[in-house]
Every structure is written in structure tokens, then in C-alpha cells.
Amino acid sequence: MMTSECDKNAENWEAIYRQKKAGNYLIYPSEHLVSLFFQNKAAITLSGKCLDFGFGSANNSEFLIQQMQELYGIEIAESSLISAKNRLAKYTNFNPENFKLIAKEHDFNHNFFDLIVAWQMLYYNDMANLELTIAKLADYLKPGGILICTLITNNDVKVRHANRVAADTYEIDHRIPHQEGCKVFSPKNKDDFLALFQAFNVIDVGYYERTSFLAENSTSEYYLIAKKP
């Protein structure tokens, strides 16, 4: 579900995975995602279906496929799709047909998933596409299904090394070369972040940061654990 505003994002991420630029292959899953998963494990139907929305290098997929009975994935970059299928082929519950490129229309059935993870990818959007994507995720989830997701804060390097192009929307500049030209969305504060997810019941919300004293690579992200009513 992309407009021309987000075409540059798709082009950049295809180049990242095809040309093996920075971030093309992450070895370990996000420690924050792993912690949040286990902290909320009792609310998750482990015998059900999970969607890794924007699976990237499939590092989180490799964690999720060992926790959930069925894993699905969706991405915008074909090279990422090829890499993920090779990476996950060793797991007996991996079905390559469950991993695919994002479509401009409908991707999955209504009320299909028990868990959706959209980790470190939703913010690669403008406002209009982000709202459409969140609505799509709500449609995909079963009633009682769980959403785990993140959006960047204004302290993240992807905002500080970017130019503002619209309300809460930024275009990454040359200081992050492999993502130059990508659009990212960053809510002003917690209330604006939560306003995007009014279709869900919030279980937990917060943020985490990692800051280096030596390098310009700080990360700062809101996280949300929420249930579809």
C-alpha cells in the first residue's frame, strides 16, 4: 500500500538488500522485541498465525518462527524476500508461500492473524500511508489479536539527520547515505503516537533509546503492545 510519496523508500530498501548495504543482514533479533514478546506471552495465541510486517533481513522472523505455529511475512523489497526465504528454509514450520511482497490492494484475509509484529518499519511512511497501513493491520488481526509495533521519536538519528517536508514527516539526508531520500514519520509526543492506534486497546506503551557518546547513530523509538477489541 504505497503512493508515489513512498516509492523512494521502496527503491532504497531494494538497493540495501540487493547491494548488501548497511542493515541488509542483522544476525540477532531485537532484544527489545524479544523482551516485550515474553512479557506479553500470556496474551498471545502461540498456536495461531503471526505476521512479521516488514520483515527486512528476517532476523526477527527467525525468532518469531520458533515461537508461533504459523509465520507469515510481507515486504516491499524483492531482494529481502529472497534472502528471508533462504534464511528460514531450515525451519520445519516455514512455508515460503506465506512470505510475499506487499500488494497495492488486499494482502491477507479479514480477522486472519493472532499476532502482528511491525517492528522498526511503520515509520518509513508519510502520514496518509501510515494511517492506511495501521487500518490494514487492524483489519488483518482477529478480535483479541495482539499488535506489537514501533515508531521513532524526534530524538532518533533518522529525524535529526533529515529535513522536515510535512507535518511530522521527514526526508533523510546524506548523513545516512544508504537511506538518503527515505521518508520517515515521527509523532511529536506520546499522545500523538497513541492517537494513531485508537482502534486498539493499549496493553503497554513506552519508549526506549540507545545513545552513543562517540557516533551519530542514536535510536529512539516508541513501542506499543495493543489488543484488537
> Where along the chain do its domains lie?
4-20+31-227
> To which residue does cell 552513543 refer?
212
Sheet holding 169-172, edge to edge: 162-166, 169-172, 183-185
Specify the pLDDT at position 116.
98
CA–CA separation, 226 and 109 (whole Å): 20
Whole-angstrom Cα distance, residue 206 to residue 209? 11
pLDDT digits (tens, 9 = 90+) for 109-166: 999 999 999 999 999 999 999 999 999 999 999 999 999 999 999 999 999 999 999 9
Mean pLDDT score, 22-39: 91
**Which region among 59-68, 104-113, 160-169 has the lowest average model confidence (pLDDT)?**
104-113
Give the residue-averaged pLDDT of 169-179: 94
Confidence of residue 173 (pLDDT cuts 50, 70, 90): very high
Pick the CATH number of 4-20+31-227 from 3.40.50.2300, 3.40.50.300, 3.40.50.150, 3.40.50.970: 3.40.50.150
- 108: Cβ contacts below 8 Å, ≥ 6 apart: 51, 72, 140
Residues 6+ apart with CB under 8 A from 36: 148, 204, 223, 225
Stretch 187-200: mean pLDDT: 98
